Structure 1
Amino acid sequence: MSGFDNWEKLVQKQLKTDDIYAILQKENLENIDVKPYYQNNSETKILPKVEESTHLVAEYQDGLEEQAFAFLLNENVEGLEEKAIFINNPDLAEHILTEETNRYFSLIDVFSDDKNAKINEHLAGELLSKAFERQIGIDVSLHQNAGASIIQQLAFALGKSKELVEKFGPEILEKLVFRLAIGSNYFFEIAKIRAFKYLFNQLSKEFEKDLIPYIFAETSLRNKAKNDEENNLIRSTLELASAMISGADAVFSNDHKIENQTELSKEISFKQQVVLAYESIINVFEDASSGSYFVEDITQQFAEKSWKLFLEIEEKDGYLALLKSGDIQKMIFEHATREQSWVEEGKIKLIGVNLYPKLEVKKTIAELYNVDEIKKVRLAEMFE
Structure 2
Amino acid sequence: MTNMTSEEELDLDDVTAQPTQLELDDTCTVELGGQRFDLVALAMIGQHYDGISRAKVQQWIEDGTCLLNGETSRSKQKVYAGDQLTLKVTLAAEGDWVAQDIPLTIVYEDEHLLVIDKPAGMVVHPAPGHPDGTLVNAVLHHSEAQRLLPRAGIVHRLDKDTSGLMVVAKTLLAQSSLIEQLRTRSMGRHYYAICKGVPISAGKVDAPIGRDPAHRQRMGVVGGGKPAVTHYRVITRHHYCAELMLKLESGRTHQIRVHMQHAGFALVGDPLYVKMRGSWLRGMDSVLKQTLNDFPRQALHATELNLIHPATEEPMSWTSALPDDLVALQKALEASDKAAKLASQIQ
Flag the structure with higher helix content: 1
Give TM-score, length-normalised by structure 1: 0.20
Flag the structure with higher strand content: 2
Give TM-score, length-normalised by structure 2: 0.22
